[in-house]
């Protein structure tokens, strides 16, 4: 009996403990619920405070009126049509090197005092004239050159123009011999012709120059060689006449500068004053050459000056002289 009662007592104690545990659990749950309720209340209080604050904010700014509509830009008129550029005419054809315009450079080469034709060693009779007192200043030099231009100059220019026109050079050389009565001047003319022919064959190699050199090994008269050189260089008979006429007066003018210490400007002014007369002589010589083509070289001018011929003979035998002629 005691044992049974003990067991019953034990079961009763266990049941009581279980009831106590359930009661404690219920009480804990109630506390949690109450805590959650408190939290909810706090949130509600906070929301109320926020609502109160919002109710006391500044009024909203007035609405900004819309900007007025921008009118459309006026239409841009189309650009006027650009007219087409005018057609550019084709450039003129360049003439060949043998054309007269291009050949004029050869005339400058021939007339240049630096061309190695030997003329610098000759005075054209000016040294004998200075010694005789016929050339003393620029004015007397002008008179001497004028007389030489219209006599010896015309003859030389016509011979040169005839050679440039195609007349047989040996025949012209014989005509030049007949127009040069002074033996000293004939020697001088051939010496100058030989030197010019050497320079011309180097500058403008041509069979016509070679043929003249073979036909006249001692040299042909200088005007004849000058005219033939102009021909092979592409120059006209008038160009050859100008070159010969200019040389007739240019040589004495340059020599007088050395002989008299003449101002070079004065000597050049003499040549400038003679320029219109030189034009006349050159054109006359070219016209005579045109006639000689049909009538023969015997129709060429034969003007000369006896006094320069005599002076040339005397000058040739002088032992002291500055120029060869």
What is the pTM (predicted TM-score) of this model?
0.69
Burial class for 168, CB neighbours closer than 10 Å (0-12, 13-18, 19+): middle
Q: Model confidence over 108-150: pLDDT tens digits?
A: 998 888 888 887 788 888 888 999 899 999 999 999 999 999 9
**E strand segments, 54-142:** none
First to last CA, the chain: 191
User: What are the C-alpha distances in Å from 313 to residues 36, 49, 316?
Assistant: 158, 149, 5
Structure tokens at 317: 């035998």
Three-state SS at 102: helix
Is pLDDT of 19 > 70?
Answer: no
C-beta separation of 153 from 281 below 8 A: yes
CA distance 225 to 164: 9
Q: Which residue has the tokens 């010896």?
A: 152
**Across residues 294-315, what is the average pLDDT?**
89
d(CA 97, CA 208): 19
Q: 37-68: per-residue pLDDT in tens?
A: 333 333 333 343 333 344 445 566 666 666 66
Pick the CATH number of 133-316 from 1.10.4190.10, 3.90.1300.10, 1.10.10.10, 2.60.40.790: 1.10.4190.10
Residue in this structure with the two tokens 């050497």, named with its chain if needed: 198
Residue with tokens 């020697």: 187
- Say whether 136 sits in a helix, a strand or coil: coil
- Name which of 188, 213, 189, 187 is nearest 200 in CA terms: 213
CA distance 170 to 216: 8
């Amino acid at each position: 009996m005691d044992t049974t009662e003990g067991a019953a007592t034990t079961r009763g104690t266990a049941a009581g403990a279980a009831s106590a545990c359930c009661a404690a659990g219920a009480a804990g749950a109630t506390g949690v619920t109450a805590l959650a309720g408190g939290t909810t209340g706090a949130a509600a209080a906070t929301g109320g405070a926020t609502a109160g604050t919002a109710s006391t904010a500044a009024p909203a700014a007035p609405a900004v009126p819309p900007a007025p509509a921008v009118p459309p830009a006026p239409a841009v008129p189309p650009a006027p049509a650009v007219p087409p550029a005018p057609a550019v005419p084709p450039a003129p054809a360049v003439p060949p090197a043998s054309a007269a315009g291009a050949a004029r450079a050869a005339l400058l080469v021939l007339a240049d005092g630096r061309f190695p034709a030997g003329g610098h060693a000759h005075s054209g009779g000016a040294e004998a004239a200075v010694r005789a007192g016929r050339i003393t200043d620029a004015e007397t030099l002008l008179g001497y050159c004028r007389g030489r231009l219209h006599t010896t100059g015309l003859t030389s220019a016509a011979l040169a123009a005839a050679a440039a026109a195609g007349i047989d050079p040996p025949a012209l050389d014989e005509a030049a011999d007949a127009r040069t009565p002074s033996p000293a001047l004939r020697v001088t003319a051939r010496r100058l012709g030989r030197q010019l022919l050497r320079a011309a064959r180097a500058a403008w190699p041509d069979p016509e120059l070679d043929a003249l050199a073979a036909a006249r090994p001692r040299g042909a008269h200088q005007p004849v060689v000058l005219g033939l050189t102009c021909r092979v260089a592409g120059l006209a008979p008038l160009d050859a006449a100008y070159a010969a006429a200019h040389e007739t007066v240019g040589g004495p003018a340059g020599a007088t500068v050395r002989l008299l210490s003449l101002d070079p400007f004065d000597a050049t002014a003499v040549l400038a004053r003679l320029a219109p007369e030189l034009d006349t002589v050159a054109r006359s010589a070219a016209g005579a050459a045109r006639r000689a083509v049909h009538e023969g070289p015997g129709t060429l001018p034969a003007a000369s000056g006896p006094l320069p011929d005599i002076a040339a003979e005397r000058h040739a035998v002088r032992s002291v002289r500055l120029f060869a002629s």
